[in-house]
Structure 1
Amino acid sequence: MKRLIPDTVFTRLFGLVVAALLTTHLVMTSLLLFFGPHFSRDEPPPRPPLERTAPGASLRPTLAPGDAARQPPPPPDNRNRFPAPFWLAQLVTLAIIGLLAWYGARRLARPIQQLTQAAARLGDNLEAPPIEESGPQETRQAARLFNRMQDKLRQQMAERSRFLAAVSHDLRTPLTRIRLRSAQLDDTALQARLGKDIDDMTAMLDATLAYLRDESQQESWQMLDITALLQVLAEDAQEQGHHVSVDGHADSLLTLPGSLRRCLDNLLENALRYGERADIHLQQTGDTVGIEIRDHGPGIPENRMSSVFEPFVRLEESRNRHTGGVGLGLAIARDAARRMGGTLTLHNAPQGGLIARLTLPRDAHGALYQL
């Protein structure tokens, strides 16, 4: 059923102002009636007769002997024009206006706050329930459009997952056939070159699919002992013959364990691949946790610091192209850091090497919802 008066922000504000004005006027009128000055209904005393003293002169009252003493007193001093009840009425009026304005602003801002909180959750969890379509007409329409956008994003992510599965199957099948056919060649040198090309294509395919799959993966927030996680990563690298050291301590933090593990794995892998060894420093300051992974390699030119975060970007001048990957490690690490509400920065160490600093809030989940 269509409303006679549209439920919009304008009508709500207009109704609130009208209600406030009517209420304050009623209160002030009541206070003046109860506490204001009262006037007597008795008739005023008769005026004395007038007499004319001379032809053309003005009339003046005739006073009998002794009437001067019965003259009315002089008018009171009205310099204090606003008595105490008036100021009391003003204070009550201000209080009523403040309460009504606070209540109205809170009611009007609640749907907008729900919309902003839902927008903050959208990047973290696409499966979050839709927001309630309540409030004025404008906020209901915005909530309806937001829920529709969330449904479309779910459909797109589902289609992308099916596309990744199809691409993975369709590309691995011909690569397997090429590998089998290359094994039948008599030329061993050509066979080795083809095998290397197939390995490179397989690595690029795996890295690309992992990058795309990682963006669509959903996780739940959990408390994690980050100190223990870094110790495990260092021990795994040491078992493979790498030199990795860990120092520092931090309390447990609320984060996405899978994203944090992938971020640190990529940073540590880059440090060991290009710098031969890695030094991990953990530090907790206030509401943040900082993780620095330093290698002892050639570093990165200052003018290429921002470009290395782009997918498929490799620095052939400063990094060994034969031992490097496909240029997705730092892109995956930065996306994982953003998903956790943190930041990832790179800078060259004064003594040589590259330092990758990951800064995470201790309550990243709450930070994403607070706007």
Structure 2
Amino acid sequence: MRNALNTLFGRLFGVLLLAIVLAHALAFFWFHHYDPPPPPPKATFVEQPDGTMRPLPKRPRPWFGGPVVPLTFQFFSLIIAAWYGAKLLSRPIQRLSEAAERLSLDLDSPPLDESGPREAQQAASTFNLMQKRIREQVGQRARMLGAVSHDLRTPLSRLKLRLEQIEDAKLQGQMRQDLNDMIGMLDATLSYLHEQRTSESRHWLDVQALVESISENAQDQGSNVQCAGTCAPLQVQPMALRSCLNNLIDNALRYAGSARVELEDSREALTIRVIDHGPGIAADKREAVFEPFYRLEGSRNRNSGGVGLGMTIAKDAVERLGGRLSLEETPGGGLTAVMWLPRA
């Protein structure tokens, strides 16, 4: 019996049953103990000064008499019971939704509390088991890829040493470039896996100061990076935001030679635009560049092309902050990366 009551159905049914019983008990008590006024006599007349006979007026019934009070109580008690019942139904779903949202942002988020009705406990237990298995699968994948990437460094390093024995300078240069590209891909892969594994807490950050610092560092290295606009501090993951900005600015510098960072603040969100006037990207390929290791044909140049992880890392960083990253065409030609970060 106790287990049956500790269910969502049992609690909801008990609340509604209690409200109905109390409402009807009050109605029975009211009609049983309330003493209505006696009915007026059938023929009660009073003589008027002019000698005529006029019937006496009927005594009015009090406002609280009859069914008004018990029906009003029934009405409000059922409304309260319905509200509390809806609260019981929606609370486990709301908790599950909030836990799923936390999980989408951070795989290491705390597990869901396994309390409440039996159905809620079962749902929370299943959700926690799913979260555990997802963490294990992601961790296993990261360990496998990390191990493969790490173990490949040894034979690649030996190949670089053996290149010195090749007498053909042209062939030696080509092979050295291929090996450098492979090592660069391994480094980028390890960096990407590290970004996915890292769980960083949120802190209040002066984003404007961060953008200005990144721009000044790039200018000190001879790059043309400008910034404009102001914004209030924002609660973010500092390393994730810095990584995203660095990747977007490096991408603009690689293909356009210059970049401009614009800040647009509002009560709802902070919008950061990284603008360049390079060759741009066709509209039908802008979403594809966020895929890991995807590179456009025009970027497959040994001197300028990356390994295809910069935009992927940037998008993952923005999504961990609860924001969005999209690509637009710059007026006059070029590419604009638009980063939208919510303040809520």
TM-score normalised by structure 1 residue count? 0.81
Q: Does 1:180 align with 2:161?
A: yes
Aligned match of 1:350 = 331
Q: CA deviation at 1:230?
A: 0.4
- In structure 1, distance between residues paired with 2:108 and 2:78: 42
Q: CA deviation at 1:276?
A: 0.9
The SS at the match of 2:67 is: helix
- Over the aligned positions, Cα root-mean-square deviation in angstroms equals 2.7
**Distance of aligned partners of 1:349 and 1:125 in 2 relative to their CA distance in 1, 3 Å threshold:** closer
Residues 315 and 324 in structure 2, CA contact (< 8 A), matched pair in contact too: yes
Aligned match of 2:48 = none
From 205, 212, 215, the equivalent of 1:234 is 215
Q: Does 1:123 align with 2:104?
A: yes
Aligned match of 2:17 = 18
The SS at the match of 2:304 is: coil
From 194, 203, 224, the equivalent of 1:243 is 224
Aligned match of 2:309 = 328
The SS at the match of 1:314 is: coil
- In structure 1, distance between residues paired with 2:194 and 2:121: 34
Q: CA deviation at 1:74?
A: 9.0
Report which of the two structures shows the higher radius of gyration computed on alpha carbons: 1
Q: Which amino acid letter does the alignment assign opposite residue 240 of structure 2?
A: S
**Which region of structure 1 is more displaced relative to structure 2, 189-198 or 150-159?**
150-159
**Paired residues for 1:237-316 under 5 Å:** 237-316=218-297
- In structure 1, distance between residues paired with 2:331 and 2:90: 51
**Which region of structure 1 is more displaced relative to structure 2, 309-318 or 256-265?**
309-318
Unaligned runs of 5+ in 1: 41-72, 364-371
**Distance of aligned partners of 1:36 and 1:299 in 2 relative to their CA distance in 1, 3 Å threshold:** farther
- In structure 2, distance between residues paired with 1:306 and 1:169: 30
**Paired residues for 1:193-232 under 5 Å:** 193-232=174-213
**Distance of aligned partners of 1:158 and 1:310 in 2 relative to their CA distance in 1, 3 Å threshold:** closer
Q: CA deviation at 1:317?
A: 3.8
- Name the count of aligned residue pairs: 330
Residues 124 and 218 in structure 1, CA contact (< 8 A), matched pair in contact too: no
Q: Which amino acid letter does the alignment assign opposite residue 176 of structure 1?
A: S
Residues 337 and 343 in structure 1, CA contact (< 8 A), matched pair in contact too: yes
- In structure 2, distance between residues paired with 1:331 and 1:113: 31
Residues 264 and 333 in structure 1, CA contact (< 8 A), matched pair in contact too: yes
- In structure 2, distance between residues paired with 1:321 and 1:185: 22
- In structure 2, distance between residues paired with 1:35 and 1:6: 37
- In structure 2, distance between residues paired with 1:218 and 1:179: 36
Q: CA deviation at 1:31?
A: 2.3
**Which region of structure 1 is more displaced relative to structure 2, 94-103 or 198-207?**
94-103
CA deviation digits over 1:12-41, x for unaligned, max 9? Answer: 33222221111100111222234352669x
- In structure 1, distance between residues paired with 2:149 and 2:97: 37
- In structure 2, distance between residues paired with 1:266 and 1:37: 84
Q: Percent identity?
A: 44
Runs of 4+ in structure 1 deviating by more than 6 angstroms, as ranges, are 73-83
- In structure 1, distance between residues paired with 2:141 and 2:315: 21
The SS at the match of 2:105 is: coil
CA deviation digits over 1:240-293, x for unaligned, max 9? Answer: 111111110000001111111111111000110111111111110221101111
Aligned match of 2:170 = 189
Aligned match of 2:50 = none
**Distance of aligned partners of 1:202 and 1:303 in 2 relative to their CA distance in 1, 3 Å threshold:** same
Q: Which amino acid letter does the alignment assign opposite residue 4 of structure 2?
A: I
**Distance of aligned partners of 1:109 and 1:302 in 2 relative to their CA distance in 1, 3 Å threshold:** closer
The SS at the match of 1:123 is: helix
Aligned match of 1:106 = 87
Unaligned runs of 5+ in 2: 40-53
TM-score normalised by structure 2 residue count? 0.87
Q: CA deviation at 1:326?
A: 1.4
- In structure 2, distance between residues paired with 1:333 and 1:255: 14
